């Protein structure tokens, strides 16, 4: 471990928390739960605070990013905060023209498609990460014994936005590039790995007790393409934080066929989307790695009885793994009633962990 002695993971605040225990493969008596996109549009207090401030600007104002991170922790009694930021923040901090267009997602001023485009990518100045460090430090001060999870986008998912210049469904641009211009792709993926790795490292050093790599769109890749063209860059991003010793989580959607390969980039926990039951994910992974997931976000607006039965099923399947951290199978949909999320947390905390 290279963390400072007053880091929350080192000074006794978070090392024995339910989240970190489960990430380390133990079964704590209280099953930890947090939600991807728990901070955001489902919360009226978020919408109010964000009024008049653009998304990426709110991420770079430490007081605002910190407050938004804390909102869902106060409201829902979840077992972790996830730092409020975005996977394209490192691009912005490097000086790339990128914005989050409401209802659309990340949009770049100019897509990155040629060898010349890739060669011209700016190198991020380490000092640019200071607002991130400041926001994390403010946040962990408030969180006490509740761990903060830092995150970054995996190189494929980040590069997909860079090549397409905006969100796309099938990610044709990057998938063509890795075969048609493999050298250019490699350089781009490595650039994204270094930017994401530096972003994650800044969060961990400033106080995050775990790190999650989001390869949200990896599910569009074949296993062969993932292994040959993507896994090495994801490993490169994580290599930049391994010496910190914090538990590392890897998550993507549509990745049922990629779980083993995603684990092999070197992580401690696998996130599973809603498509694959956790007992089957556990079987595919060999039964020796903690799992996180995978309540179907679509059921958050179903009648309570339907949702409750589903949550119970997810927990029972999760109990087949060495340890289970409850979460959704993807992010909280904006139309979710926050009271439903609070009730789901209560339900999860009320159900004993089997096999302790
Ligand atoms: O609570 C949390 O999970 C922490 C905050 C967080 C955000 N983005 C805030 C955000 C995290 C972890 C992310 C990661 C992220 N960003 C991913 C990976 C996770 C995933 O969902 O798969 C991806 C693919 C992005 C890119 C991105 N940013 C998209 C697709 C969007 C949605 C666009 C829209 O308006 O529907 C964003 C914007 C974004 N990032 C919002 C939030 C709260 C919504 C912006 C708003 O409030 O207007």
Q: Report the percent of the chain where pLDDT is more than 90.
A: 99
Q: Tell me the helices (H) and strands (E) count for the chain, helix number first.
A: 16, 9
Bridge-based pairing state of the strands 81-82 and 248-251: unpaired
Collect all residues with Cβ–Cβ distance below 8 Å to 24 and sequence separation of at least 6: 247, 268, 290, 323
Cα 34 to middle of ligand 1, angstroms: 16
236 annotated binding-site participant: no
pLDDT of amino acid 215: 98
42 annotated binding-site participant: no
Domain at 195, CATH number:
3.20.20.210
Ligand 1 atom showing the smallest separation from residue 105 Cα: 33
Name the average pLDDT for the chain.
98
pLDDT value at 1 more than 80: no
Cα 106 to middle of ligand 1, angstroms: 9
Ligand 1 atom showing the smallest separation from residue 36 Cα: 3
How many domains are there within the chain? Answer: 1
pLDDT of amino acid 353: 96
pLDDT of amino acid 112: 98
Q: How confident is the model at residue 316 (pLDDT cuts 50, 70, 90)?
A: very high
Span 249-274, average pLDDT: 98
Q: How confident is the model at residue 15 (pLDDT cuts 50, 70, 90)?
A: very high
H or E stretch covering 101? strand 98-101
Cα 37 to middle of ligand 1, angstroms: 7
Q: Is the shortest distance between the CB of 103 and ligand 1 below 6 Å?
A: yes
pLDDT value at 355 more than 90: no
The ipTM (two decimal places) reads: 0.93
The C-alpha atoms of residue 229 and residue 225 are separated, in whole angstroms, by: 5
Pocket test for ligand 1, best of 41, 50, 81, 100 (most atoms within 8 A of CB): 100
State phi, psi for 198 to the nearest 5 degrees.
Answer: -65, -40
The answer to the question of residue 355 being in a domain is: no
Nearest-CA residue for ligand 1 atom 32 is 105
Question: For residue 209, what are the domain limits?
Answer: 18-350
Cα 142 to middle of ligand 1, angstroms: 23
The answer to the question of residue 3 being in a domain is: no
3-state secondary structure of 46: helix
The answer to the question of residue 49 being in a domain is: yes
pLDDT of amino acid 191: 98
Nearest-CA residue for ligand 1 atom 28 is 105
Q: Is the shortest distance between the CB of 37 and ligand 1 below 6 Å?
A: yes
Q: Is the shortest distance between the CB of 297 and ligand 1 below 6 Å?
A: no
Q: Report the percent of the chain where pLDDT is more than 70.
A: 100
Nearest-CA residue for ligand 1 atom 5 is 84
3-state secondary structure of 292: strand
The answer to the question of residue 179 being in a domain is: yes
Q: Is the shortest distance between the CB of 311 and ligand 1 below 6 Å?
A: no
The answer to the question of residue 112 being in a domain is: yes
Q: What number of other Cβ atoms are within 10 A of residue 48's Cβ? A: 8
Q: Is the shortest distance between the CB of 226 and ligand 1 below 6 Å?
A: no
pLDDT of amino acid 210: 98
292 annotated binding-site participant: no
Span 139-195, pLDDT tens digits: 999 999 999 999 999 999 999 999 999 999 999 999 999 999 999 999 999 999 999
State if pTM tops 0.95. yes
User: For residue 6, which of 205, 189, 175, 266 has the smallest C-alpha distance?
Assistant: 205
**Catalytic residue ranges:** 37, 41, 50, 86, 161
Span 276-303, average pLDDT: 98
């Amino acid at each position: 471990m290279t963390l400072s002695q007053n880091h929350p993971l080192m000074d006794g605040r978070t090392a024995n928390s339910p989240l970190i225990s489960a990430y380390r493969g133990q079964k704590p008596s209280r099953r930890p739960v947090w939600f991807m996109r728990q901070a955001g549009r489902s919360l009226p207090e978020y919408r109010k605070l964000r009024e008049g401030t653009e998304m990426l600007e709110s991420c770079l104002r430490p007081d605002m990013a910190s407050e938004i991170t804390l909102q869902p922790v106060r409201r829902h009694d979840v077992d972790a905060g996830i730092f409020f930021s975005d996977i394209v923040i490192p691009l912005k901090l490097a000086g790339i023209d990128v914005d989050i267009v409401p209802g659309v997602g990340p949009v770049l001023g100019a897509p990155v498609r040629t060898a010349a485009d890739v060669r011209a990518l700016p190198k991020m100045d380490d000092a640019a990460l200071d607002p991130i460090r400041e926001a994390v430090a403010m946040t962990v001060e408030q969180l006490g014994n509740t761990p903060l999870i830092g995150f970054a986008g995996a190189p494929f998912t980040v590069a997909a936005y860079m090549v397409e210049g905006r969100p796309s469904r099938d990610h044709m641009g990057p998938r063509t590039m890795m075969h048609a211009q493999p050298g250019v792709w490699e350089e781009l993926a490595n650039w994204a790995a270094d930017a994401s790795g530096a972003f994650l490292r800044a969060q961990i050093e400033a106080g995050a007790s775990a790190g999650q790599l989001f390869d949200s769109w990896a599910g569009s890749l074949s296993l062969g393409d993932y292994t040959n063209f993507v896994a090495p860059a994801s490993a490169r991003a994580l290599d930049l934080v391994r010496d910190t010793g914090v538990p590392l989580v890897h998550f993507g959607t549509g990745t049922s066929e990629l779980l083993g390969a995603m684990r092999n980039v070197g992580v401690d926990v696998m996130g599973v989307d809603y498509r694959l039951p956790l007992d089957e994910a556990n079987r595919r992974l060999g039964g020796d790695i903690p799992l996180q997931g995978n309540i179907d976000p679509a059921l958050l607006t179903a009648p309570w009885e339907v949702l409750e039965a589903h949550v119970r099923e997810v927990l029972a399947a999760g109990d087949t793994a060495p340890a289970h951290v409850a979460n959704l199978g993807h992010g909280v949909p904006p139309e979710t009633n926050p009271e439903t999320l609070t009730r789901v947390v209560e339900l999860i905390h009320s159900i004993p962990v089997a096999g302790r």
